[in-house]
Chain A
Amino acid sequence: MSNFGFVIAHLPFLLVAIATPFAQGKAKWFAYAVMAALAIGAPLILPEFTQQYSAMWVLVVLALTWDMQGGQMGYNSLGNIFFFGLGMYMSAIFQVSVAHDLGEYTYAGGINVFEFTSVQYFTGLAIGLIAAPVICAILAIPLGWVLFGLRGPYFAIGTLGVAIAAGEMFGTWEWIGAGQGISMPPFPGDPDTAKYTLYMLNFALVVATFGVAAWLYSTRFGLALNAIRDDEQKAEGMGLQTLWIKQVCWAIAAFFVGLCGAIYGNTVGFIEPLEVAFQTIYLGIFMVVAVLLGGKGTLWGPVLGAILFHVLKEGTWTYILGWQWVALGVLIVVIVVYFQDGIMGSLRRSRPELFGEFVDRKAAEEAARGEAPA
């Protein structure tokens, strides 16, 4: 069972994800519906994979939001994981504080037993899940003001620096448990309901993020993002408030990343600063690789990339344990070096008609020869 169970559990998602870009018009909606049905049904049929599915949706959300400023706007951040950790901690702080004093709750020497009633739990969860993303989005504005002045590698390293510094600072703050971390309040009720509820929260977030991204890219704002990516100076010259647009874009991404972190903190059950919350060298890198794998600057690319990368990653853990990092490292190298346009990117080049683009091949060839098209 465990030998093939993993493949059986993940293959349908992969197939639908790969098939979706080929679907046009009504078929596309059909593909989305199949995906949603799979997502809702699979953990009911195969409850043992629920946790792995949750991790998959987390990666999808992170990839989608990373692509907002990485792919669409051309700002390659390595520090989006900052909002993931921040959201996780903010939510935890509110969830615990509803019922108990956080300082006492996290104090290492304490011998008190802390219990949460279900009213306390759900009030805390509601407050946490609202407050965490809002705080992240608000914080993204001033942070963006500082960081978006940086270009290219400096932006990537600057954002990475913010995430690492945040991990270190949260790790010294005793009130939130410092390096001890925080055990999240346990979900009242039986374990299967708990797991499925949290799973559905994760998946609902994917739907929301995807919807917002799709809507965003169809607006003027989306075009402005592309303009900044293609030539920021010209975009500014055309009268776009580039800094403000960048800040807003990052705030939207931060909102969803923060919410994702808040939900995932509850899914994992125990959070700590360096390896769960501000995990710069794990999820922080994986989300970027997932986007590159799927194709930067496309809507479905990040989703496809995240699902594929998640399956490959979990596959190495399932089948070649002991060499998993070697395999993953090689995988990352192959993806970024040989597969840079990603699946959607290369598909767009080889079959542009799938993207509703019409290419006059003759004219293109003439243009390539340096002749003006007639």
Chain B
Amino acid sequence: MKHFGKVMAAATLGTAMMAAPALAADEIVLGSAISLTGKYSTNGLHAKNGYDFAVQKINDAGGIEIDGKKYKLRVVYYDDESTPARGAQLAERLIQQDGVQYMLGPYSSGLTKAIAPVTEKYQIPMVEAEGASRSLFNKGYKYMFAVLSTSEQYLASAIDLAAEMAKKEGKEPSDVRVAMAFENDPFSLDVRAGVIADMEKYGMQNVIDDKLPRDLSDMSATLTKVKALKPDLLLVSGHSKGAATAARQIGEMGISVPMIAMTHCEAADVTGKFPDAANGLLCPTQWAETLSYSDPFFGTAAEYEAEFKQAYPEYAEKTVPYQTAQATAAVWVFKDAFERAGTLDKEALRDAIAATEISTFYGGIKFAPEGNNIAKPMVLRQVQDGKYNVVAPSDFASHQIEFPRP
């Protein structure tokens, strides 16, 4: 029941915000439809906490200074229930009924896909932190910017690593046989598309290509195939539910693939739930607190994590997920752009955001003309003795990869 009060507080807060009077003069209001209920709500809450943390910290430091005047930040949230139709509707409501001029993104690629056409229609600058789908950036959107690396990079380093390992063992990368189990949703299918492109580059063989239904909680048929075909690399992607199911059944069925990589390990807390099965799993991440990024405001990545844990004690036992860090970074992009633009005009702001080139605790941020961040790589971590250690790419690696996995 301990969460009950928290959720109630969030709900009351949301209601109170809606009831709040029209914009005060010295306030900059950002809007966001975020998943507080439904299947993405775990990560939606992570993102919201990241936004709130940044807003709080920026306001405590005096707010945003534009043309000599100080402004406080405020975010208006609506719950999109993790459904795209609702998200699009709420974006309209934020812009039209609440007069929001600047948007923060929702959680997940699907929701971002639903909301981007709306912000684009009204020419509202949106900095989003949780929609990685490659297909967001081929629509010619001019007002959407993403601080995170795009989805095709999620498991790309796992493919590179597998090729490297094959060479070490005296085999050709084209001998590597890959099994894929991806959830049937925009995010995971994008990850899959990136993986397939990379596999083609090395000429690797695709032996299993299953799409997991969204409400499936059983992967045993797919994993039986894995047992039969003995691939060299198993890739899984399916948000928290997919990661939890996969980790559980990989352990139960004694799957002994030398390399297994999956997304959302941290969000599903696989090390806490299945300490044995999780060992040796490779988990891509947008950000890790052990990386050497830093900026003057939030400090280093590690300092950010420590300070965040202080502000949100419920994370004390867990690793702060990258979803939270990138949400904070998105708010920071707004602050930086506002101060450079020196005006509240949204067109000038858009141009300022487009010209962003900063380094932060979350990594470098520089936007391609399509809006995706090209200054920051994905890193790959491996679960080693219950800890997440960065093993690739080699510039960032703090530990050696354990291969084959125990």
Contact = CB atoms under 8 A, between A and B. Distances in A.
Interface of A: 1-3, 5, 47-52, 55, 106-115, 168, 171-172, 178-181, 183-184, 186-187, 191, 194, 268-270, 272, 274-276, 279, 282, 318-323, 325
A332 to B, nearest CB: 17
A194 to B, nearest CB: 7
Interface string B170-210: 00000000000001111011101110110000000000000
Contacts of B370: 113
Contacts of A270: 84, 88, 113-114, 117
Given A1-B97, A268-B84, 19 more contacts: A2-B19, A48-B93, A48-B97, A49-B96, A51-B88, A51-B93, A51-B96, A108-B186, A111-B134, A113-B139, A180-B190, A181-B186, A183-B113, A183-B135, A184-B117, A269-B117, A320-B15, A322-B37, A323-B11
Nearest to A264: B85
A55 B90 CA distance: 12
A172 B89 contact: no
Interface string B1-30: 000000110111011001100100000000
A109 B14 contact: no
A321 B113 contact: no
B11 A321 contact: yes
Nearest to B76: A2
Interface in B59-105: 78-79, 83-85, 88-89, 92-93, 96-98
Contact of A178 (B18, B114, B189): B189
A47 B22 contact: no
B133 interface: yes
Nearest to B39: A275
B184 A322 contact: no
Query: Interface size for chain B: under 10, 10 to 19, 20 to 34, or 35 or more residues?
Result: 35 or more
A108 B194 CA distance: 8
Contacts of B193: 107-109
B277 interface: no
B186 A2 contact: no
A178 B98 contact: no
Contact of B189 (A47, A55, A179, A187): A179
Nearest to B196: A109
Contacts of B295: none
B184 A115 contact: no
A172 B184 contact: yes
B377 interface: no
A108 B184 CA distance: 12
A55 B89 contact: yes
Contacts of A47: 96
A107 to B, nearest CB: 7
Contacts of A180: 135, 185-186, 189-190
A3 B117 CA distance: 27
Given A108-B192, A321-B79, A268 B15 contact: no
